[in-house]
Chain A
Amino acid sequence: MRDQYYLRQFAFKGLIAHQAHPHYSPDVMADYARALAALGRGVFPMDLIVTERYSLEQVGDGFEALISHREGFLKGIVVPQL
């Protein structure tokens, strides 16, 4: 993977960049609250997003699937008592 960034277009376009790392948030818990409220309203199609489930013993398999970029893999979750 390249590790060089050509930022000429950043300057040329006169864009405004926001680095939306959690540290960008003025109130992380307010973002949790908004996100969970939206989840409760059905905003997020989690049945389409959570594509894999792993037990604690299968966590290694989960990371291997994550880096494999195989078709159909979006989000794996760990379910301790699968």
Chain B
Amino acid sequence: MAQIGSGVTRFKEGDRVTGGISKAFATHALAAEKDLLPVPAGVDLQHAIGEPLMCVSNIVRAAAPKFGDHVAVVGCGQMGLLAIAALKQAGLGSLIAVDRIGWRLELAIKIGATHAIGADGKNPVEVVEEITNGGADVVVEVTGRPGGLELSADLIRMGQSTLVMAGFH
């Protein structure tokens, strides 16, 4: 925070902040007080990428897996991997990372996925059916591509299971 306007009460000069700021490819940017939040102490400012993390919160709150649910994340780019980090919990039946790229799947396991599939030539639908005994209860689609969306619907269990479309904007 380089400078504050009159009437700003929540921040002072020198504060570390993030939030939804447009026109930000610059050394400085103008933002409304209501659109900013403080970066927690101890967090590297270069890691405080507010907007994508806000999206992860939105995605994971939409996914809202219940105890014992099998959850699949289709697409393991930065958003898929961040979603895996936010979704992992001891109570899940499984947390399955799906991608076609091996090094991304290795990261997914490192971050907390229980299974990583899609890069070994096996049919992911069959593999997920086997892991989940009939399909995933929650699928988070993060590829933003027709094939990813169709695969997500193929992976999901019959009957009011939750598909979160996170890759389409």
Category for how many chain B residues contact A: 35 or more
Query: Contacts A36-B53, A49-B81: A18 and B164 contacting too (C-beta < 8 A)?
Result: yes
The residue in chain B whose Cβ has the minimal distance to the Cβ of A1 is B145
Contact with B along A11-45 (1 / 0, CB 8 A): 01111111111101100110111111111100111
Chain A interface SS verdict (over half): mixed
Category for how many chain A residues contact B: 35 or more
The residue in chain A whose Cβ has the minimal distance to the Cβ of B161 is A15
Query: Contacts A36-B39, A43-B86, A77-B49: A20 and B165 contacting too (C-beta < 8 A)?
Result: yes
Contact with A along B133-153 (1 / 0, CB 8 A): 001000000000111011001
Contact of A40 among B25, B40, B110, B153 (CB under 8 A): B40
Query: Contacts A33-B37, A34-B57, A50-B47: A24 and B62 contacting too (C-beta < 8 A)?
Result: yes
Using a CB–CB cutoff of 8 Å, the interface residues on chain B facing chain A are 18-20, 25-27, 34-35, 37-44, 46-50, 52-59, 61-63, 77-78, 81-82, 85-86, 103-104, 107, 110-111, 135, 145-147, 149-150, 153-154, 156-166, 168-169
Using a CB–CB cutoff of 8 Å, the interface residues on chain A facing chain B are 1-7, 9-10, 12-22, 24-25, 28-29, 31-40, 43-50, 53, 56, 59, 71-72, 74-75, 77-81
